[in-house]
Structure 1
Amino acid sequence: MTVPVIDAHQHYWKIAAQDQPWRESHHGAIAQDFEPADLAPLLAAAGIDGTVVMQSVDEPEENDRLAAYATDDTVLGIVSWLPVKDPAAASAELDRRELPKHVGVRCLVADDPMHWLASRDIRALFADIARRGLAWDVVPITDAQIRNVTALAEAVPDLRIVVDHLGRPPIDSGGWEPWAGNVARLAGNPNVSVKVSIGINVLSAWAAWDASGVEPFVDHVADLYGADRLLAASNWPVVLLRTDYATAWHDLRGMLFARFDDPAERAAVLGGAAVRVYGLDRFVPAGPVVG
């Protein structure tokens, strides 16, 4: 059976259509529109079969925009916005419309300790999210966030949780703890997976793209999660703050292939894990065998 190559995390947006409060004045390289037609030739050149498109702002209109992007053949799945802190509003948004290629939900949590994850109503919401076949993307970075996400993973074992951007390791500062211990705690839950991608915090702090600085962190999550729970992801167009798409994908792919030399493991990190975690087999075409 062939396994498609999937970029598991990228964005599209039109600047005039949405306010992006996370985008700062020094982010000029991404202060423009990014559409499927811009990415399609880059995907073809890199040998990538399709992508998972992520929400980038917290508002219902974002989901309508994602639904429009889902009509593109390169889009294999969309991860929508969902106000998970408010179960009633979240349920209403889930029922508001049936999104095409809907595979997951996310909202931007920043440094919110997320103590509300212990609420009975919110855990019931996440159980419903799991029943709908949706994953939850999140970036837990503080000790409190790690504790609360870990407890949720244990309480709702059918919920597939995806930690974005390696869990935001301190790559720019050269630190290690508490990040290393936190991702290890999360790894104890088999329903937690990790995206091998670089977040905006690191990209903003770097003076230039530094693949070698990422390698120890990729090695650590590779040891903890294995190929079946790692998803290769570009974070395009945010990654354009420091490098082009081809370089980012080549370098991340190289780091993963340095750790996994078995063809089945390579196929997993470059697409198989994304198919499993997001249930993309509902939408994804067959792709080439990764070797």
Structure 2
Amino acid sequence: MQTNLRSLGPEEARLVLALAARRASVVTARQAAQLLGDEKKARNAVRRLLQKGWLQRASNGHYVVLPAEWGSEKIEDFDIYVLASASVENGYVGWWAAASRHGFTTQVPNIIHVATDRQVPPRLIQDNPVRYVKLAPRKFFGWEDMPSFGRTFRVSSTKKTLVDCIDRPDLCGGPTELARIVTRAVESVSPSEAVETAIKNGSVSTSQRLGFLVDLIAPDYLTPEARGRLRSFIPLSAKSIFGRPERSEHDIGYVSDWGLFVNVDETDLFAEAQRPSAVR
């Protein structure tokens, strides 16, 4: 006798059909109440849909919709990227996790970082640590919906992933892993996209690191127009640091082209990365 079928009562069917019509991959408790027009009915419908396997809890009041095409049996969603993205109303999977999903690295991070527009405490989702990074309004942009087995989740776009990782090397494995990510990313992100995204991000130090890293990894990557645009954003007096706070004997040192103190050994940057064979 089958007891694990995903049946639907009247209110549950209304909510599932409403979500399907909107092609929603995520629903909040507030949205469910709006769709059914009654908060109590929505709470009951959500509770039953969780029990029957039509919804899966990502966090309090945030649920992943498990598609009808998954069949009549109750199956849980184990894609941590989908659950992490759904765990906040405004957010996207970013940095190292996004680089992994875009194929910029073979590494799978132990911690998923989600960009948000507000303070959110860290969580464990299916035993996976998820950390939330509140971004300044000027930096909170550049995500896309990535498909995953019949639903989608929010992740930073390829160009935003590149810039976010350069902006926060500590969230993508450090300078050596960042070099690997940049090596792969410049093969799919155009120079103009990289430069315009860095400028929109609004950080001079990030733009300095971008210029230095692509010059080191792919010297012909920046077109004259893109190089000029990037340089025009960086004040002549701007100085910043990439790497450790203090310089060591074999570090690259000061790079005058970009006003950057590089406290990293070049051999460390290329310990796991190879220069791309061809770039734009």
TM-score normalised by L of structure 2: 0.26
Question: Could you say which structure has the higher helix fraction?
Answer: 1
Question: Could you say which structure has the higher strand fraction?
Answer: 2
When Rg is computed on C-alpha atoms for both structures, the one with the higher figure is 2
Bigger relative contact order (CA 8 A; separation at least 6): 1
TM-score normalised by L of structure 1: 0.26
